[in-house]
Each structure stands twice: as C-alpha cells, then as structure tokens.
C-alpha cells in the first residue's frame, strides 16, 4: 500500500511539473507577423552588426588620413661617446709653424643633446584629395550595410512564407485525415451490417495510413523550416515561436512598383559609388604631379664634457634651433603615376559597362517577374476556384458513398483529385509569394515590408 501511495505521489508531482512547464512554455512563446520577424532579424543578425562596425572603422581611417595634415611633434635625445675624436688638418701658421700641416683633434669625449622636432604640412593636394575620399568610402560602406539588411529581409521573408505554406499544407492534410476517419467509422458500421466489403474498408485504412505518413513528413519539414526561420532571424533556437498570420492573407503585392527605377537597386548604387571612388583615386594620383610645401622646426640643447657628469652645475648647455620651409617638386617618376592613372581610367570604362549590363539585367528580370506575378495571380485564382470545385465534388462523392451508390475506388479517385487540387493551389500561392519578394528585392523596395 505504501508503495502504491509513493508511486501515486511521484505521478502527481510529475503531472504538476508538466503542467507548470507547459504554462511557462506558453508564456515564452512569441507571436511574429512577417514585419515583426523581419524587424527582429535586421536588429539581431550578426552580419549586419559586423557591417555597421565598418562605419566606425572608416571614421578611424579618416582620422588617420587627417593626421597627415595635422602638426607632428616628437622629442629625441642621445649620449655620444666619442671613442676617437675626428682629426682635422690645419695650416701650421696658426700654431707658429708656417709651411707645415698640423693634425688637430677637436671636441670632447662625451656629447649629450636633446631636441624637439615639429613639422606641419602647408600644402599637399594628394592629402587633400585623400581626405575627400572618406565621404565616398562612408557611402559605400552604408550601401554595404543596406545590402546586408536587404539580404536578411529577403531570407527571413522567404523562410517565413515557407513555414506558413507548410503550416497551411499541414492543416489541409489534417482536415483530410478527419474526413477519412469519419469515412472509416461509417464503413466500419456498414461492414458490420454486411453492406460493405472488407476490401473497401482495408483500402480506406491504407489511405488513412498514407495520410498519417504524409502528415508526419510534413510535421518534420515544418519543424525544420521553423528552426531555419529562427536561424535567419538570429532568434534563440530553443525558444518557441508562432506565426500570427496566414500566408494567404499577406499583402505584399500592393507595395511592388509597377515601373522599376534601377537607381533604387543597391547593386547598381554600389557600382556607381565604386566608379566615383575610382575617379577620386585618379584625381589623387594627378595631384601627385603638383609641388608640396611643408614647415619644419627644431629646437634643442647640447652639452660637451670629457666626463659623464652632465648633471653637475659646471656643465654648460648650448641651445640651437632651426626653422625650415621645405618644397618637394616632383619632376619625373618613370611614368609610374601615368601608368596607374591609365589603369584606373580603363577600370572606369569597365564600371560603366558593368552598370549598363546590370541595368539591362535588372530591367529584364523585372519584366519577367512582373509577367510571372501576373500569371501567378491568375493561376492562384483559378486554382482557388478549382479547389472549391474539388471539395464540392468530394463532398458529393462521400455522400454517395455513404448511401452505397458508388464504390470505394470512385471515392478514392475523388480524394486523389482533391489532394491534387490542394497541392496545385499551395504551389500557386508559393509562386506568388516568391515572385513578390524577388520583385521587391530587384526593384530596391524590399524594405517596404517593414515600413
């Protein structure tokens, strides 16, 4: 008896824990619309965060370039041990020995000096042009950020639609299972009364088993696609998520531009920015032909002793200073800059051709997508009507089967036709959703999903 009570207690505790767990699980489950999922993905995807860090890196690159135009100051010093003093030859007349050369050594054994050097670029067109390149570099980096965001929006939207489509497919198959369960019950009663054959009942059971297998495969696919959606959203994989809208209810097509402007496409904008950057690089190289001007200043002290006692009060420190204005005039560099300029000029021509090719490709893609979308919309409407008709035929056939007017084979044929109509309808919905997202991306309007 005690063992039974203990076992009952354990089961009660287990049941309570399961109930608490299900409640907590339900509380943690978050519902996402398509817009919510996209916004979450854009805010949390690591690739976007990494690309945004490039903007900060470019700021530091600008500061590095600007530093070349700011004053540079440095201090230096040293102690020299003149192991052997240099010898100089002087006329002997200085020492009362006319007509003879006298070797003389000047200086002390130790020399200490300390200097502060300062320099300032006054004019260097190459540096000035380099500074102007930072704005274009920031523009290109921002375009990269936008491109990363667009890719995340595209990936999240596609994954979101896939989950919704599989969810709709699961609902349809579940409804088919319920219909078949009802038929099995009716057929079982008829079989017991002698109005149905065992073969008919077995055929329905086989069909029921096939639907169960199909439902299991759909459920597995659904869970896999749900995990993938979390992955592209950068959502915790161990947390529950629920999609709050139906794929048939999404209203994306209304935001698709009927006439495409290729300048809205990010790939086209990146090509134009690269060409502008190439033009800046050409101007920077041309600026290398111009003279540059800089200012230099040095101030320091020097002391000379034969003993290492420079800190004594007897040491005399001698100041010295130099102010210089320096000009660098390039004369001939072996045509190095000329060759580099010609390379960049050819690169610019290639960029123009790339832009023209991309423009034609985008217009071609958009035209095809527009045609595909219009055809898919018409096909979806036709398949929706066909599905309704198939459902009506199936319902009529099922009533006839229940009345014993038709055979099981005719009923199964009607069921097969219904499943085919359901599959075709799902395929048409999927084609529309994919065409919408692809059209938005090509037109550069995919961010309209989150507006």
The domains located in the chain, with CATH, are 28-69+124-290+333-450 (1.20.1600.10)
Report residue 5's pLDDT band, with 50, 70 and 90 as the boundaries: very low
Q: With 0-12 CB in 10 A as exposed, 13-18 as middle and 19+ as buried, what is 340?
A: middle
Which residue has better confidence, 154 or 439?
Answer: 154
**Torsion 366-371-372-376 (CA) sign:** positive
- Give φ, ψ of 295 to 5 degrees: -120, 135
**3 state DSSP class of 246:** coil
CA distance linking residue 421 with residue 425, whole number of Å = 6
Beta-bridge mates of residue 27: none
Cα-trace Rg, the chain? 42
Are the beta carbons of 247 and 429 closer than 8 angstroms?
A: yes
Q: What does the pLDDT read at residue 98? A: 87
Q: What does the pLDDT read at residue 350? A: 96
Whole-Å CA distances, 213 to 209, 220, 347:
6, 11, 59
CA 241, distance to chain mean position in Å, is: 23
Q: What does the pLDDT read at residue 367? A: 85
Predicted model pTM: 0.78
Closest by CA position to 217, among listed 169, 183, 182, 181: 169
Q: What does the pLDDT read at residue 245? A: 60
- State the Cα angle at 109 between 108 and 111, rounded to 5°: 75
Tell me: the pLDDT tens digits for 291-309? 999 999 999 999 988 888 8
- Give φ, ψ of 118 to 5 degrees: -130, 140
Which residue has better confidence, 440 or 322?
Answer: 322
User: Which of 8-22, 161-175, 345-359 has the weakest average pLDDT?
Assistant: 8-22
- Residue 446 is given by DSSP the state G
pLDDT at 15 over 50: no
CA distance linking residue 100 with residue 90, whole number of Å = 9
Report residue 248's pLDDT band, with 50, 70 and 90 as the boundaries: low
Tell me: the pLDDT tens digits for 73-106? 999 999 999 888 888 888 888 888 888 888 888 8
Report residue 28's pLDDT band, with 50, 70 and 90 as the boundaries: low
**3 state DSSP class of 403:** coil
pLDDT > 70 in the chain, percent: 90
Are the beta carbons of 252 and 262 closer than 8 angstroms?
A: no
Tell me the two tokens of residue 208. Answer: 């029921």
CA distance linking residue 300 with residue 76, whole number of Å = 9
User: Which of 18-27, 82-91, 236-245 has the weakest average pLDDT?
Assistant: 18-27
Tell me the two tokens of residue 101. Answer: 């050369």
């Amino acid at each position: 008896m005690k063992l039974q009570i203990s076992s009952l207690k354990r089961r009660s505790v287990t049941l309570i824990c399961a109930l608490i767990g299900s409640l907590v699980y339900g509380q943690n489950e978050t519902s996402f619309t398509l817009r919510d999922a996209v916004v979450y993905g854009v805010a949390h995807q690591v690739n976007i965060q990494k690309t945004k860090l490039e903007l900060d890196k470019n700021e530091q690159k600008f500061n590095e370039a600007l530093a070349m135009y700011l004053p540079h100051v440095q201090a230096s010093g040293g102690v020299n041990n003149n192991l052997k003093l240099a010898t100089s030859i002087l006329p002997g007349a200085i020492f009362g020995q006319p007509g003879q050369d006298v070797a003389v050594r000047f200086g002390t054994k130790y020399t200490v000096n300390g200097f502060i050097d300062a320099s300032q670029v006054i004019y260097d067109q190459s540096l000035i042009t380099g500074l102007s390149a930072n704005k274009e570099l920031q523009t290109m980096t921002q375009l990269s950020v936008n491109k990363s965001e667009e890719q995340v929006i595209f990936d999240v939207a596609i994954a979101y639609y896939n989950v919704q489509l599989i969810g709709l497919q699961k609902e349809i198959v579940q409804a088919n299972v319920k219909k078949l369960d009802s038929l099995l019950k009716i057929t079982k009663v008829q079989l017991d009364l002698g109005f149905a054959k065992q073969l008919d009942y077995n055929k329905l059971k086989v069909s029921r088993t096939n639907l169960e297998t199909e439902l299991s495969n759909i459920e597995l696919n659904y869970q896999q696609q749900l995990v993938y959606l979390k992955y592209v959203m950068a959502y915790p994989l161990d947390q529950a998520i629920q999609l709050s809208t139906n794929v048939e209810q999404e209203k994306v097509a209304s935001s698709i531009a009927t006439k495409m402007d290729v300048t809205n496409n990010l790939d086209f904008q990146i090509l134009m920015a690269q060409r502008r950057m190439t033009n800046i690089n050409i101007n920077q190289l041309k600026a290398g032909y111009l003279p540059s001007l800089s200012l230099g200043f040095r101030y320091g002290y020097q002391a000379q002793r034969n003993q290492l006692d420079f800190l004594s009060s007897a040491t005399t420190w001698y100041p010295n200073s130099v102010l210089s204005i320096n000009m660098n005039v390039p004369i001939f560099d072996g045509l190095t800059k000329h060759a580099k300029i010609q390379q960049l000029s050819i690169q610019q021509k290639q960029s123009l051709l790339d832009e023209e090719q991309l423009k034609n490709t985008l217009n071609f893609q958009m035209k095809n997508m527009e045609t595909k979308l219009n055809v898919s919309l018409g096909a979806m409407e036709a398949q929706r009507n066909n599905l309704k008709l198939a459902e009506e035929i199936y319902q009529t056939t099922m009533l006839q089967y229940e009345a014993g007017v038709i055979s099981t084979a005719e009923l199964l044929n009607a069921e097969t036709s219904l499943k085919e109509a359901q599959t075709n309808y799902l395929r048409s919905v999927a084609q529309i959703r994919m065409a919408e997202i692809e059209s938005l991306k090509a037109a550069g309007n995919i961010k309209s999903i989150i507006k």
